[in-house]
Amino acid sequence: KSPIYILAIESSCDDTAAAVLKDSKVLSNVVARQGIHEEYGGVVPELASRAHQQNIVPVVDVALKKAGIDKSELSGIAFTQGPGLMGSLLVGSSFAKSLAMSLNIPLISVHHMHAHVLAHFIDEEGYDKPEFPFLAMTISGGHTQIIKVNSFFDMQIIGETTDDAVGEAFDKSAKILGLPYPGGPLIDKYAQLGNPKAYQFTKPKVDGLNFSFSGLKTQILYFIQKNVKENPNFIEENTNDICASIQNIIIQILMDKIKMAVEETGIKQIAIGGGVSANSGIRNTLKEAESKYGWKTFVPKFEYTTDNAAMIGIVGYQKYLENKFEDYSVTSKARIEF
């Protein structure tokens, strides 16, 4: 039966998202962001699940309307099974199950981290897809992983963070500077006006392809405290340089590990995803690496890189083609094997 229409639902953290795909093309990709968490400086799980509960029906409605299709035309429903916040995941999975059951169509579970990796296979004018095998790096507020991707359903984590995610390193540094949450995009903005070599921070020593960012955060905290003691206006007077230097060390940490992963695997295709891949410094550095090291790099459209349902839909489509369906008794999983 062709074409295949997949409704996808993503609710693993604080964004309620729904998308409709026609085969591997995105017809609609809707996200309701939850502003409520900003005043708390981080996601409050209980508030997130309540907001999902309010948002899910209108978000799915809008996604179907924008796609211009009726729910009776859907071939299957894909949802994020995990990992994520349990209360948030349950809203998405319960909704997906009920709708699939009422329409009597297949239900498809999707691993959120697989979806970040496979978002590169969404059909987009002018977007070259990576070829297997490739290296994927998912960098977001919740994750920092390097993945060797052999095929759609065969991939292994070859490096990951042992503590904070890289997005947290950005957000926590921003918080130290008194910037609002999430501070990553602001650090990026100010960094573009500053000198990345103004202040030196040291890279953590971590074995192999793994990462650690909690020490860097402490290093930045002490650095700021020491300087503010000497000059109360230190942050205001040097915001651009401080941001550029913080961003620079984070990029160096990431690049060191990608280089190591390329050496270890011999794979020179690097596909990045997750909210932090929006960072202009990271994008520029990767582009430079193409000519410098002969790599081919892939950075998807921003809306497919932060948490979204289109990426859940593309995995849903691939699974649909292989009849990888779920029983209606499937459960959400806060932690889930890769």
- State the first-to-last Cα distance of the chain, in angstroms, to the nearest integer: 30
Identify the bridge partners of residue 154 per DSSP, sorted by sequence position. 151
Interaction partner, residue 83 (Zn ion, ligand KG4, none; CB < 5-8 Å by kind): none
Q: Residue 142, interface with ligand KG4 (CB under 6 A)?
A: yes
Cβ nearer to ligand KG4, comparing 307 with 326: 307
- Whole-angstrom distance, CA of residue 141 vs CA of residue 85: 14
* CA dist list (Å): 147 to 34, 139, 248, 264: 29, 11, 23, 12
For residue 307, the minimal CB distance to ligand KG4 (Å) is 5
Say if CB 105 and CB 74 are below 8 A apart.
Answer: yes
Strand 144-151: give its sheet, edge to edge.
154-160, 144-151, 134-139, 269-273, 296-298
Nearer to ligand KG4, 272 or 278 (CB): 278
**Helix %, strand %, coil % of the chain (to 5):** 50, 20, 30
- The stretch among 51-59, 177-185, 286-294, 312-320 that binds ligand KG4 (CB under 6 A) is 177-185
| 306 touches ligand KG4 by CB under 6 A | yes
Annotated binding site: 112, 116, 138-142, 171, 184, 188, 279, 307
Q: Match 């490096």 to its residue by tokens.
A: 159
Rounded Cα gap, residues 34 and 304, in angstroms: 18
Q: Residue 284: helix, strand or coil by DSSP?
A: helix
Lookup result for tokens 């020593």? 205
Residue in 76, 307, 308, 314 binding Zn ion, rule: CB under 5 A: 307
Tell me whether residue 5 or residue 213 sits nearer to Zn ion (CB atom). 213
For residue 76, the partner it binds in ligand KG4, Zn ion, none, with Cβ less than 5 to 8 A by kind, is none
Sole window of 98-106, 136-144, 195-203, 319-327 interacting with Zn ion (rule: CB under 5 A): 136-144
8 Å CB contact between 24 and 60: no
Residue 88, contacted partner among Zn ion, ligand KG4, none, CB below 5-8 A by kind: none
Q: Cβ of residue 113: shortest distance to ligand KG4, in angstroms?
A: 10
Cβ contacts of residue 114 below 8 Å, gap of 6+? 155, 315, 338
C-beta closer to ligand KG4: residue 188 or 326: 188
Give me the least distance between CB of 161 and Zn ion, in Å please: 14
171 binds ligand KG4 (CB under 6 A): yes
236-275: contacts with ligand KG4 (CB under 6 A)? 274-275
Residue 335 structure tokens: 């932690």
Quick check: 307 binds ligand KG4 (CB under 6 A)?
yes
DSSP state of 121: G
Q: Residue numbers of the site for ligand KG4 (CB under 6 A)?
A: 13, 140-142, 167, 170-171, 182, 184-185, 188, 274-276, 278-279, 306-307
Please report, as ranges, the residues that interact with Zn ion according to CB under 5 A.
140, 307
